Structure 1
Amino acid sequence: MRLNEQEYNQYIRIHPKLIYFAGKKLALFPKNTTLEKFLGWSVEKKYPIREALYENLHLLDEFIHEFSKELSKEDIELIQQFKHFTKGTFVVVKLTSEHAIFMDDQFAYEVLALSDPFEMFWGNNLPVMVEAVLLPFKDKIIYDGIISSYPILIGPGMKESIMHDFNRIVAQNGVISQLPVDEKIKAHAHIDPEESEIPTDEELDFFQEELEAFMAFENRQPMPEIDNLSPQDMHHILYQPFEDVSPIQWKVPVDKNVFTQEVPFFKLITAYLKMVEEAGQMKLTPKGNLQVKTCKDLYALGIINEGHIEKGTVKLNKESDSIVLQTVRIIADLAGITKKRHGKVSLTAKGKKLLDKPDLLFRAIFQTYYQKFNWEYHDLYEDNGHIQNTFGYLLYLLLQYGKEERNLQFYVEKYLLAFPFILEAIEPRSLYHSAEKYTQNCIHTRVFSRFLNWFGFIEERTTGKKFFDIEYFIRTSDTFRKIMELDASKFQFERPEGYA
C-alpha cells in the first residue's frame, strides 16, 4: 500500500526540492533560506508554498532546465508527469491490501502511500474526508505528502450516502489507477443534461449551506458505538479536552491541598523542582540524566514506590533504573518548567512562576504527560501511538462510569467498540495473547498502572495470583472527582437518563 524504498527515495529527492524551488522563484521566503532550513519547517509553514507550486506549473519546466545536468531521464519524465495532478476534497472510502481508495465527485482513485501506511492516519475508521493532491508516479497514483482530514466523524446516514455514490461511480467509470484520467473514461462519465449547466454563485452558496447543515446535523447525532456520544462530542473529547467546547472540564475552584497532598506524581515532581530551585543549577550526568544521589533522595521520599526496586530485582544506581524518576525529569523538560544548559538543569522563568501556583502547575504537568510525553518510552508494546491519541475517550469513560468499581475489561470493550482499528494496527509479540488481550495489557500498563495510578486517580483491586488468571477491578478516586468532571451542558444532545 506504499511505494517501495527505491521509489520513495526518488520521490523525496525530487518533490521537496520542487516546492523549495517554487518558493525561491516566487520570493515566498527570505533569499538566505537554505534548502536544509526549508526542509526543517513545519507542514503548516510549507503549505502555502506547496499551493503556489501547483498554481505555477511553468516552474516545473524551469526546474528541469536549471537542473538538467543533475536529473536523470527518468527524473525529468516524472516531473513532467506531475503536471497531471488532481487536487481537492476527497473521501477516503476504504483501504485494500494494495491501495487506499480516494473518491471525488466523479472518479474513484487507487492511491499508494509514500512511506507511512494509510492505516497510521485513520486505521479503518473510514470513510473520512480529506484535502489532498494526487500525483501520477510512473504507472501509479500517490499523494504528495501533505494530507489533512476534516475534523468530523461521519455518521451512519452520511456513510450510506457516500457508499451509494461510490458504488455508482465505480460501476460507471471503474477505479482510476493512473493519471491523467483517460479521455475515453472522461467522455464516458455520465453527466445528466439537466445538471450540466454551470451553477450560479447564489446556487453554489445555497448548496454549500445545505451541505454544511446536513453535516452539522449528522455530527450531532448519538452513535451507540461511541457510548451514545455524537461525532462532534467525540471530536471535542479527543482533540479539545478541557477547552470550553469539551464535555471534559477542570473543576473550579480546587483546594491547592488536593494537588500538593493527594496527587503522588505532582508531589514527586514538585519535590524535584524544589531541589532544582535550591541548587540554582543542578549538575546532571554526562548523558543528561539525574545524578545517583538525586535519584536516591527523591525515591527515599516514598511518594511512589516501584516493585522492581522494592523487591531488590533492580538497585537504584542510575536514573534509568526508576521509570517514574526518569518520567519526572522528562515531563519537567517537556512542559518547559526546567531547562538543560551545559550539563546542568535549572528552572525556567515559567517554572519559577508555576511553582507557586499548584493548580496551573498541575494542569501543565498533566497535559504534558497526556499530550507530549511518549507513552511507548518505557515498554515494548507497539500501537503506533493510537492509545495515547485516543486517551480522551478513556478519560470520558472513567468520568461517566468510574464511581462504581468495574472490571478493566468493561473499559477495554467500550474502547475497542469505538476504535476497532486499533486491533488491526498492533502485532502481539506473544503467541499466547490475542490482539484483544495484548491491547488490554497495554492499556492497563500505560493508562492505569502508570499514568492514572501515579496521579492518584484510580483505586485498583486485583484477583488471581497466576499471570493468566489476574483480573483488575477499577474505580476512580475521590481525588480524580475533585479535579475534573463532565459538563452535561457541553454535549450536543440531551443525554438519556443515567448519563452525566
Structure 2
Amino acid sequence: MKLPQKDADLFYKLMWGLQFFVNQQQKILPGTLSLEDYIALPSQKKIDVRDHLWAKASIIDDYVSQNPNGLRADDLAIVRKWKGFISGTFQMFRYLKKHAIFISENSTVYAVLSLNDSFQEMFPGQPTPINVDALLLPFKGHIVYDGMLKMYPIFWGKNIRAELNDTYMRAKQKGHIVTTLEPDQETPTSSQPKPTKPKRDWSPMAEEVVRMSEKMRGNDAVENAALGLLRASARLTEAVAKGNRDLYEMRQMQHTAWKALKRVDTSVKRSQP
C-alpha cells in the first residue's frame, strides 16, 4: 500500500525542492539557506512552510516557470498537477493490499498510497478507522498524501463504523472509489480497453429452480421451513437474474426470505429434544 522506493524518493525530492522555494520566497525560515539544510530539518519545523504553500498554491506556477532546481519536464509536470490537491479531514477506514481507504467528510472514497512507511507502520496498534487531517496529491497516476498527517485519537462507536462501512461498500460496488486525481491520466489500457467476460444469463436456471422448488414438499416441519427458504431465495435470485433492480420489490423479497430464514431457525430449535 505504499509507493515503490524509487517513486517515494522522487516524491520527496520534488516536495522538498518546492517547499524550499516557498521558504526562499516567503522568508519563513530565514536561517535555512540551502536545500540540504531544509531537507535536514525535522517535520515540525517544516509545517509553516507547508501551510504557506497550500494556502497559496499558485506559487507552484512560479516554481515551475523558474525551475530553480533544474528539473526535467516530466518532473515539472508532476509538480504542476499538485495544484489539484484535496485537503480536509478523512477517516482512514481500511488497509488493503494495494492502498488504504480514505473517506472524506462528504463521503467520497479515495484509494491512497503511503510514502516511505506504510500507514500501519505509522500508526502501529491503532485500530481503524483513524481520524486524520491530510492533504492528498496526484502522483504518477496514484493518490498520495503530502508527507504530513495529523491524527486525532477518537474512538468510533459501532454505528459510525457501520455507516463508514456502508459508504465504502457502496463506492466499491458502484466502482466509485477514486484512485487518481488526474482525470486525463493515460494508462496502458486506456487505448485498448480490457476485455470483459460476457455476462452469463442465469435467469433460465433460476426459473427452473423456482419451478422445481414450488413442487417440493418436506417430510417434517424443518424440511418444510428449509424449502420455504429455498423458494423465497430462488424467487429473489430469479428477479435479480432478470435485471430487476427495483429497490422496493427487492426489499419485499428480501423480507420474505428473511422471514423464511427465521422459520427455519424456529423449526430447528423446536425439533431439539
Q: TM-score range by the shorter chain?
A: 0.5 to 0.7
Aligned length: 182
User: Which stretches of structure 1, 4 residues or longer, exceed 4 Å deviation after superposition?
Assistant: 169-173
**d(CA) in 1 for partners of 2:41, 2:100:** 28
- Aligned position for 2:60: 60
- Aligned position for 1:110: 111
**d(CA) in 2 for partners of 1:32, 1:133:** 25
Deviation at 1:68, TM superposition (A): 6.2
**d(CA) in 2 for partners of 1:10, 1:134:** 17
Aligned residue for 1:109, secondary structure, equals: strand
For 1:61, the aligned partner's letter is D
**d(CA) in 2 for partners of 1:171, 1:108:** 12
Deviation at 1:166, TM superposition (A): 2.9
Aligned residue for 1:176, secondary structure, equals: coil
Deviation at 1:66, TM superposition (A): 2.2
Aligned residue for 2:47, secondary structure, equals: helix
Deviation at 1:167, TM superposition (A): 3.0
Deviation at 1:155, TM superposition (A): 2.8
**d(CA) in 1 for partners of 2:7, 2:118:** 15
Instruction: Assess if the C-alpha contact under 8 Å between 1:94 and 1:127 holds in 2.
Output: yes
- Aligned position for 2:27: 27
- Aligned position for 2:157: 155
- Aligned position for 1:179: 181
1:323-472 to structure 2, matched below 5 A, reads none
- Aligned position for 1:40: 40
Question: Which residues of structure 1 form unaligned runs of 5+?
Answer: 183-500
Q: Structure 1 residues 86, 181: CA separation in 2 closer, same or farther (over 3 Å shift)?
A: farther
- Aligned position for 2:10: 10
- Calculate the TM-score normalised by the size of structure 1: 0.34
- Aligned position for 2:255: none
1:293-312 to structure 2, matched below 5 A, reads none
Percent identical pairs in the alignment equals 26
**d(CA) in 2 for partners of 1:56, 1:173:** 33
**d(CA) in 2 for partners of 1:43, 1:153:** 26
**d(CA) in 2 for partners of 1:176, 1:66:** 32
Per-residue deviation, residues 18-43 of structure 1 (Å, max 9, x unmatched): 11211221121215543333223232
Aligned residue for 1:175, secondary structure, equals: coil
**d(CA) in 2 for partners of 1:19, 1:122:** 26
CA RMSD after TM alignment: 2.1
Aligned residue for 1:157, secondary structure, equals: helix
- Aligned position for 1:90: 90
Q: Structure 1 residues 48, 128: CA separation in 2 closer, same or farther (over 3 Å shift)?
A: same
Per-residue deviation, residues 210-264 of structure 1 (Å, max 9, x unmatched): xxxxxxxxxxxxxxxxxxxxxxxxxxxxxxxxxxxxxxxxxxxxxxxxxxxxxxx
Per-residue deviation, residues 257-304 of structure 1 (Å, max 9, x unmatched): xxxxxxxxxxxxxxxxxxxxxxxxxxxxxxxxxxxxxxxxxxxxxxxx
Match of 2:130 among 128, 139, 155: 128
**Are 1:80 and 2:73 an aligned pair?**
no
- Calculate the TM-score normalised by the size of structure 2: 0.61
Deviation at 1:69, TM superposition (A): 7.2
Per-residue deviation, residues 177-213 of structure 1 (Å, max 9, x unmatched): 110468xxxxxxxxxxxxxxxxxxxxxxxxxxxxxxx
Instruction: Assess if the C-alpha contact under 8 Å between 1:24 and 1:31 holds in 2.
Output: no
Deviation at 1:172, TM superposition (A): 5.3
For 2:48, the aligned partner's letter is P
- Aligned position for 2:169: 167
Q: Structure 1 residues 69, 29: CA separation in 2 closer, same or farther (over 3 Å shift)?
A: closer
**d(CA) in 1 for partners of 2:8, 2:182:** 21
Question: Which residues of structure 2 form unaligned runs of 5+?
Answer: 185-273
**d(CA) in 1 for partners of 2:39, 2:69:** 23
For 1:155, the aligned partner's letter is G
